[in-house]
Amino acid sequence: MKTGQTYLVTGAMGCIGSWVLHHLVQRGDKVVSFDLGDNRSRLDLLLNKDEQEKIQFTQGDIRDTSLMKSIFDEYGISRVIHLAALQVPFCKADPVLGAQVNVVGTVNVFEAARAANVSHIAYASSVAVFGPPSVYNASILNDSHLPDPHTLYGVYKVANEGTARIYWNDHGISSATVRPYTVYGVGRDQGLTSEPTKAMLAAAKGESYEIGFSGTMQFQLASDIARYFIACADTPFKGAGAFNIGTTPATVAEVLEMIKALRPDARVSGVENELPFPAGMDGSSLAAYLPDFKETTLAEGVKQTIEHFERVG
Ligand SMILES: NC(=O)c1ccc[n+]([C@@H]2O[C@H](COP(=O)([O-])OP(=O)(O)OC[C@H]3O[C@@H](n4cnc5c(N)ncnc54)[C@H](O)[C@@H]3O)[C@@H](O)[C@H]2O)c1
């Protein structure tokens, strides 16, 4: 359903950003893409050239405050989906750059929104705001479990949630974010938790692949996470909402079984190596905020992903 709004998507050339562009173009909305890079390899898997023509592509650094402000002015931005960030290993390798991109970059987006009188922002948080299960004495975390990040990336995400809260308190700019876990699907090609997707790609190509970790976690389809961020941008919220997602937890072994059930010749396997993350989250607050949202089941998401990889080669 077309909204008549103009969306700014930062980090739009990334995995989730490409899926956000895909959904916004499919429903006929005006969209401005903003990213440091101009590599459209992920987008090429999701939109053909004619569809990409409908997007206004801009390139720049989220750290540049005046550039951010000028993008809002020039394109008449009315809705914002802020995804640009450096992932866990990159923040670890260069903490200063990580803080500049992930923390200052987010402040820049809020400042630009404030200057342009945009009153609501959707942005990306992460399950990394939480610590390992030993911190909580619970395998499923709920709203009473407080963030306790054990990575710089997680610390920066907590800072962003705090920034969002202060912009609501000080300036009345509302916001909403979800905290994704293991995102999988076409376009998920980097980062530790991209390995289940790499196993699906290997199954599609007839190659072998071994996932380097095991355990129970929440697997979330990149397309669904993109729809969550669009819903966060489209749905008003009074305050700064930071939501856990209640996806049914599953094991890496179950994902491997699903791949083999779909492609019996698949040579995919995994090693026993539990990651220090909780099994999952309780999503009651998110369900109250977005009551009509339906997630794709894991079995259907794995099937769609393998078939999509087979189609695009
Ligand atoms: N993929 C996951 O499993 C996952 C899980 C939880 C949260 N998230 C969050 O969701 C968001 C999107 O994740 P993703 O998987 O699409 O990430 P990604 O790494 O695929 O994409 C991030 C994009 O940000 C861009 N970027 C980096 N530095 C920039 C800068 N200085 N200026 C402008 N753009 C810059 C990159 O070029 C890239 O295209 C991020 O905020 C991420 O932290 C992702």
Q: 289-313: per-residue pLDDT in tens?
A: 999 999 999 999 999 999 999 998 7
Q: What are phi and psi of 28, to 5 degrees?
A: 90, 20
Q: What is the pLDDT of residue 276?
A: 77
**Residues with Cβ < 8 Å from 96, sequence gap 6 or more?**
none
List b or e across 39-68, with b for residues whose CB sees 16 or more CB atoms inside 10 angstroms: ebebbebbbeeeebeebebbeeebbebebb
Residues 17/9, Cβ–Cβ less than 8 Å: yes
Residues 60/263, Cβ–Cβ less than 8 Å: no
- Does 6-312 carry CATH code 3.40.50.720? yes
Please tell me the residue having the least CA distance from ligand 1 atom 1.
183
Residues 75/6, Cβ–Cβ less than 8 Å: yes
Burial class (CB in 10 A: 0-12, 13-18, 19+), 91: buried
Q: Answer whether 11 contacts ligand 1 (Cβ < 6 A).
A: yes
Q: Answer whether 187 contacts ligand 1 (Cβ < 6 A).
A: no
To test ligand 1's pocket by mutation, which of 20, 46, 87, 189 has the most ligand atoms within 8 angstroms of CB?
87
Q: What are phi and psi of 131, to 5 degrees?
A: -90, -175
Q: Answer whether 17 contacts ligand 1 (Cβ < 6 A).
A: yes
How much is the average pLDDT of 185-214?
Answer: 95
Please tell me the residue having the least CA distance from ligand 1 atom 39.
14
Per-residue pLDDT at 215 exceeds 80: yes
User: What are the tens digits of pLDDT across the range 134-193?
Assistant: 899 888 999 999 999 999 999 999 999 999 999 999 999 999 999 999 999 999 998 879
Which of 38, 43, 45 shows the shortest CA–CA distance to 204?
45
Q: What is the pLDDT of residue 185?
A: 98
Interatomic CA distance for residues 65 and 190, integer angstroms: 28
Please tell me the residue having the least CA distance from ligand 1 atom 7.
126
Q: What is the pLDDT of residue 8?
A: 98
Its pTM stands at 0.97
Ligand 1 geometric centre to CA of 280 (Å): 22
pLDDT interval class at 2 (50, 70, 90): confident
Interatomic CA distance for residues 205 and 249, integer angstroms: 27
Residues 8/74, Cβ–Cβ less than 8 Å: no
Ligand 1 geometric centre to CA of 35 (Å): 10
Q: Answer whether 84 contacts ligand 1 (Cβ < 6 A).
A: yes
Ligand 1 geometric centre to CA of 201 (Å): 21
Task: Pick the atom of ligand 1 nearest to 187's CA.
Answer: 20
Q: Which residue has the tokens 């007839």?
A: 206
Ligand 1 geometric centre to CA of 139 (Å): 27
Q: What is the pLDDT of residue 93?
A: 96
User: What are the tens digits of pLDDT across the range 51-62?
Assistant: 999 999 999 999
User: What are the tens digits of pLDDT across the range 218-259?
Assistant: 999 999 999 999 999 999 999 999 999 999 999 999 999 999
Q: What are phi and psi of 140, to 5 degrees?
A: -110, 120
Task: Pick the atom of ligand 1 nearest to 182's CA.
Answer: 3
Ligand 1 geometric centre to CA of 263 (Å): 31
Per-residue pLDDT at 284 exceeds 90: yes
Q: Answer whether 15 contacts ligand 1 (Cβ < 6 A).
A: yes
Ligand 1 geometric centre to CA of 86 (Å): 6
Q: Give percent of the chain above pLDDT 90.
A: 92
Q: What is the pLDDT of residue 290?
A: 98
Q: Answer whether 35 contacts ligand 1 (Cβ < 6 A).
A: yes
Residue 220: in which H helix or E strand, if any? strand 219-221
Which of 109, 32, 14 shows the shortest CA–CA distance to 63?
109
Mean pLDDT of the chain: 96
What DSSP line would sit under 8-72, residue for residue? Answer: EEETTTSHHHHHHHHHHHHTT-EEEEEES----HHHHTTS-HHHHTTEEEEE--TT-HHHHHHHH
